[in-house]
Copies of this chain bind each other. A is one copy, B any other.
Amino acid sequence: MNYRRLGRSGLKVSELSLGSWVTYHNQVNEGAAQEMMAAAFDAGVNFFDNAEAYAGGKSEEVMGAALRALKWPRLNYVVSTKFFWGLDREGDAINRKDTLNRKYLTQAIDGSLKRFGLDFIDLVYCHRPDPHTPIEETVWAMSDMINRGKALYWGTSEWSAADIRAAWDIAECHHLHKPVMEQPQYHLFHRKRVEEEYARLYEDIGLGLTTWSPLASGLLTGKYRNGIPGDSRGAMKGMGFLEKSLTDDAKNAAVGKLETIAADLGCSVSQLAIAWVAKNPRVSTVITGASKLSQLQSNLGAAAVIPKLTPEVLARIDDATLALAV
């Protein structure tokens, strides 16, 4: 496994990492989580992604229990969490959901630390932008988590380039801790934000990326080419919003072309898609997900595919997908 700096920071993360979204607590119980984390760690993965909102806090509890069982030295791994949606998203949850105000953030980090059973979280994210809280208030609250020793680095997820830059400038001006990383969606069909909108931020502020959804919610595995299988994420409760995208004919046809390319490289289309994300040097780590050990091991196999992505191969991939990408 190779390691990359998280943007311009000194923290190094494995180029492939393991996320708990969707899977933990829902598809993956504590024992399975521990088994997969152990396998990933043994393969060199050092970053484990999480969020308060994943499975309503259960994902943090499952990961925390696994970490206690695994007994890795604290320096050897990096864990994250994210704040915005809150734990409890029913009804009018004033100041408890869809917010980045100081009250919520101040209480949320304490909740995450407790669920994880950790003294600090390595990476903390603003999970979405909150247009109803001044960026300055959010910057202070995130920086305070670091000042109080509850977190080490902070960043954003799915923020606009303008908002990220504003946060950085406010922190620089007031001598606060600056945002270090952004967690954007990034895959073959979703490229413009990472490749165009953020283009100037990499050099200007040293932004790092921890990207999510390398397989486009499973579309890039090829398993939706013939409709939605019953045991797939696309068929899960609460995931109906993915249906249209997963069954898009043009995209599934493109996946067919990718399968040919993958076959030529001796890998799966999933591995090709993950390797393609990792090939972008602006990406610090590609967060992958897995609901079972075999899937994890297949994903990690993508590391070996990265060096095979020559300019010629990348051109073939672009031919197959670029026109469909946003």
The contact of A100 among B3, B10, B14, B74, by CB within 8 Å, is B10
A147 to B175, CA, bound (A): 14
Instruction: Indicate whether A140 reaches chain B with its CB closer than 8 angstroms.
Output: yes
Instruction: Indicate whether A46 reaches chain B with its CB closer than 8 angstroms.
Output: yes
Instruction: Indicate whether A188 reaches chain B with its CB closer than 8 angstroms.
Output: no
* B74:A95 contact, CB within 8 angstroms: no
Instruction: Indicate whether A112 reaches chain B with its CB closer than 8 angstroms.
Output: no
Q: Which chain B residues border A122 with CB–CB below 8 Å?
A: 103
The contact of A101 among B10, B74, B133, B144, by CB within 8 Å, is B10
* B95:A46 contact, CB within 8 angstroms: yes
A5 to B102, CA, bound (A): 13
Within 8 A of B (CB), among A172-198: 174-175, 177
* B134:A102 contact, CB within 8 angstroms: no
Instruction: Indicate whether A8 reaches chain B with its CB closer than 8 angstroms.
Output: yes
Q: Is the contact region of chain A dominated by helix, strand, or loop, or is it mixed? A: loop
Instruction: Indicate whether A298 reaches chain B with its CB closer than 8 angstroms.
Output: no
Within 8 A of B (CB), among A157-213: 174-175, 177, 206
Q: Which chain B residues border A76 with CB–CB below 8 Å?
A: 94-96
* B3:A94 contact, CB within 8 angstroms: yes
* B134:A101 contact, CB within 8 angstroms: no
Q: Which chain B residues border A10 with CB–CB below 8 Å?
A: 99-104, 130, 132-134, 137-138
For the complex of A and B, 3 pairs with smallest distance between CB atoms? A10-B133, A10-B101, A75-B96
Question: What are 27 sample pairs from A and B whose C-beta atoms fall under 8 A apart?
Answer: A3-B94, A10-B99, A10-B101, A10-B103, A10-B132, A10-B138, A11-B101, A11-B102, A11-B103, A12-B95, A12-B101, A12-B132, A14-B94, A74-B107, A75-B86, A75-B95, A75-B103, A76-B94, A76-B96, A102-B153, A103-B122, A103-B152, A103-B153, A106-B152, A140-B177, A174-B175, A175-B175
